[in-house]
Structure 1
Amino acid sequence: MEDLCSVPPEVLFPSSNQTLEPALGSQITLNCTVRLPSQQYCNPVLRWMKDGHWLGDESSPYASEEKVWISDNETETFMSNLLGVNLTSDEDYGVFACWIRNTTATFTLQRSEAAGHVSAVLAALFVLGLLLLMAVIYVKCRLNMLLWYRNRYGELEINDGKLYDAYVSYANSPDDRKFVNFIMKPQLENRHGYKLFLDDKTILPNSEPSADLIMNVSRCRRLIVVLSYAYLEQDWCINNFRDGLLRLLELSQRPIFVAFESQYREIEHLAINLLKQHKNAVTLLLWRAGSMTPSSDFWKELCLALPRKVSYQGIMADPQTQLQEDKDPMLILHSSYLEYQGDPHPEGDLGVRGSILRGPPPPRMTGPDGPPALAAGIVEEVQLEEGQRSEIDISDLGSRNYGARTDFYCLVTEDDL
């Protein structure tokens, strides 16, 4: 009869070499269970090893618990050993093996990759940073993208019977006149090619639009109101701004109100609250300290509120009014003419090329053999020149191009006079 003590045991758990990835700081119990032929005097021993070193001495930090039981028919013996492992450091990870009668079952403990969490955190931070970058780009470039899209795919407002792009209403005060005539008008007309109609009179006397107002506004595609202290002091703004605003909404689509930020924060007027309530029907723009720069957001927002401009090759005037025979030489799209390059004719604008006082040409001396007809022709020519020419040569006055002259334009106000 074969010696049952030499029969190798059958490992029930783990069924194969097992790999575990517990987290650092956790506690895990390794269960090793085997089945042996029942033989009481064999006295089998189940021991643990870690990385090739035996465990089980009194100084070992690992606690084990062994259980032995016999089957009901007393033909088989079962042994189970539970090893508790506290993973407090990297040294607690490794290969644990339970050994009995030259049979080994192994547990490989690997630290869960912290890089997995790190990679997830890094991925989340990357996505968050990308979203923040996109938000910053949107905030910084939103107006540029909207302008590009509008200028490329926006609706064209041509052949609509309008003579002006915008009707500008402002108060007759020194600050408002300077803002409109020296800042808004040059920027919109010279840089962006718009044509403005300026009006410093009360647009709604007695809260009812006048016939001139209706006619002038009907000739403009947009309405711009410079909403300053002086403007809000008008009677219709003080007494009945609500009805006046409704009239303006009837006269123009989405009127544009320009307010100064320094005044806007201090204005305690019903008009501001009404404009906020009708923000879907009006456009409210704030003139800030940095709005003077041509590339500021103020001009971009204002251009978005104005019609889309159209440019044609070879046309110097406003193409939207050129079709209606607008020949005003000051309404040109390109602002290069503002760069003063010197007066090509420093003597003045009257066509003077040389000396103002001219005498007759010197007589030609001819000999006795010279043709008398030639001498008579010369004398006749001199007499003709003396009779027809004045002291000032104005022969080419009608052909002079005054469209390129800008130095004689001077804007003054009544106060300056």
Structure 2
Amino acid sequence: MAGTECGLPINLISPPTAEQELWPHLGTTVSLNCTLQVPDSCSGSVTWLKNGEAAGHLYAGQDTVWNDVSSSVKFISSVLGVNLTTDEDYGKFTCQLQNVSASFTLHKTVQAGHIAAVVLALCVFAALVIGVILYLKCRLNLSLWYRDKYGEPEMNDGRLFDACVSFCPSNIDTKFTNFILKPQLENRYGYKLHLDERSLLPSTEPSAELLMNVSRCRRLIVVLSMAYLEQEWCQNNFRDGFFRLLELSQTPIFILFENQYKDLPAEVIHLLNSQKGTLKTLMWKADSVSPASDFWKELRLALPRKISLSDGKGDPQTQCQDDKDPMLTLNSEATDLDPDGDLGVRRTFYKAPPPRIAPVTRVPDREPTGEVDISDLGSRNYSARSDYYCLVTEPDL
């Protein structure tokens, strides 16, 4: 912008434009530089205004004048220092010489301080910590809920028990199995267990009884205590027996006692750690007695999913078989004609001959009363349990 009252035009050198907008932070100092080119013969000084009024003594201005030796002009530079201590220090500042002026508009801005950044970082860290704690506390509950709601139930597979529990008939192991493990799983969660206190592998090859017991159970639970490892087959060759168990059962469950863990042989611990993907290891601790402990939750996750049945209905594996066998019917008043059928043995039944009574008078022959009609035995459907009878051959009968 230029003026002509001094005979020659007055030129604005700085700022480059007549309107400047700045966003300084509160607590800083801003230097506003206003430089003009005026004729050498022109007198006067630069005046500063704030919001259209004289800036006064609150803002100190410093004027500098120097001549251009190559021409008849001089330069006037005025620097106004504005100390932004309060919100009132912001506004529009104008430098003016005669009819030439330039303005600087100072806008208030919010400075992102370190306190806000630290608070934000602490909030993010607290949210992560809370998330980790909730995950550790609730992951088993969420896994159980998802498994019970969307998991695939193991039913209609011909199995009689949910798990076979192998334990040593010692004082501690027997009490743990019969008074803690079995009541909790059967009475509280509805599982059906088969307890076996005999040696699983008394010889190098599994016995027919062991194969039968494992085939009748969906899982295998081994109470691996110090007394269990003192059995003869464990002391002779535990490694071969261990891998034999992995072949017999899908994902066997090994229960260890925390107070005995440090006394376990190094070979046993190494084998358990090396096969974590094919087995489940659970540690019984002092606080595992509580039904809400992680031990029972992890054990239930390793066991099959249970189906909640309404009253009056039996095992779901017999619901779709159209089988009226009293052995497979819940609360049946009929007598089971084959009590050993669950063991895989089919026996032949014969009717006893009618008692000989000296006839007084000739009466027509009739069938003896009180006999149970077994004429439909051949038409019964045992497809749900066909795998139990596969180990029995015709000569065995």
CA drift at 1:288: 1.5
SS in 1 for 2:264: coil
Which residue of structure 2 aligns with residue 46 of structure 1?
46
Out of 33, 36, 42, the position equivalent to 1:34 is 36
One-letter amino acid matched to 1:66: T
CA distance change for structure 1 residues 174 and 316 in 2, over 3 Å: closer, same or farther? farther
Structure 1 contact 154–308 (Cα < 8 Å) conserved: yes
**Within the alignment, does 1:172 sit opposite 2:169 as a pair?**
yes
Q: Contact 1:14–1:31 (CA<8 Å) still a contact in 2?
A: no
Residue equivalent to 2:254: 257
- 2: CA distance between counterparts of 1:64 and 1:160? 98
SS of the aligned residue for 1:4 comes to: coil
Q: Indicate yes or no: 2:191 matched with 1:205.
A: no
- Give the TM-score taking structure 2 as reference length: 0.68
Deviation per CA, 1:38-64, whole angstroms, max 9, x where unpaired? x212233235567954459xxx8x684
| Partner of residue 66, structure 1 | 64
TM-score with structure 1 setting the length? 0.65
Root-mean-square deviation (CA), in Å? 3.5
Residues 316-346 of structure 1: CA distance to partner in whole angstroms, max 9, x if unpaired?
65545787945798xxxxxxxxxxxxxxxxx
Q: Please list, as runs of the form range in 1=range in 2, the aligned pairs for 1:93-104 lying within 5 A after superposition.
A: 94-95=90-91, 97-101=94-98
1:246 equivalenced with 2:243 (yes/no): yes
Q: Secondary structure at the match of 1:33?
A: strand
Q: How many residues align?
A: 319
Q: Which amino acid aligns with 1:243?
A: D
Gap regions ≥5 residues in structure 1 = 330-417
- Unaligned 5+ segments in structure 2 are 332-397
Measure, in 1, the Cα distance between the counterparts of 2:86 and 2:309: 76
Residue aligning to 1:21: 24
Deviates more, 1:194-203 or 1:12-21: 12-21
Q: Is the 8 A contact 1:93 1:110 kept in 2?
A: no
Please state whether the residue corresponding to 1:168 is helix, strand or coil.
strand
| Partner AA of 2:168 in structure 1 | A
Q: Does 1:194 align with 2:191?
A: yes
Is the Cα–Cα contact under 8 Å of residues 188 and 194 in structure 1 kept in the other structure?
yes
User: Which stretch has the larger CA shift, 9-18 or 300-309?
Assistant: 9-18
Q: Which residue of 2 aligns with 1:160?
A: 157
How do 1:8-407 residues align onto structure 2 when only pairs under 5 Å count?
Answer: 10=12, 12-13=14-15, 15=17, 16-22=19-25, 24=27, 28-36=30-38, 39-46=39-46, 53-54=55-56, 64=62, 66=64, 68=66, 70=68, 74=71, 78-83=75-80, 94-95=90-91, 97-101=94-98, 105-107=102-104, 109=106, 112-114=109-111, 118-315=115-312, 318-320=315-317, 325=327
- Distance in 2 (CA, whole Å) between partners of 1:23 and 1:101 is 32
Looking at structure 2, the residues matched to 212 and 166 of structure 1 have their Cα atoms a distance apart, in angstroms, of: 16
Q: What SS class does the counterpart of residue 41 from structure 2 fall into?
A: helix
Shift of 1:294: 1.1
Deviations 1:238-265 (A, max 9, x none): 3422222211111111111111122224
Query: For residues 167-193 of structure 1, what are the alpha-carbon distances to aligned partners after superposition, in whole Å with 9 as ceiling and x for unaligned?
Result: 111111111100000000001011111
Q: Deviations over 1:254-279 (max 9, x none)?
A: 11111112222443431112111111
Per the alignment, do residues 290 and 182 of structure 1 end up closer, same or farther by CA in structure 2, a change over 3 Å counting?
A: same
In structure 2, how many angstroms separate the alpha carbons of the residues matched to 1:207 and 1:100? Answer: 112
User: CA separation in 2, counterparts of 1:207 and 1:77?
Assistant: 113
Structure 1 residue 111 displacement after superposition = 6.3
8 Å contact kept, 2:14–2:33: no
Q: Per-residue CA shift, 1:114-171, capped at 9, x if unaligned?
A: 4676555444443333333222221111111111111111111111111111011111
Alignment partner, residue 409 of structure 1: none
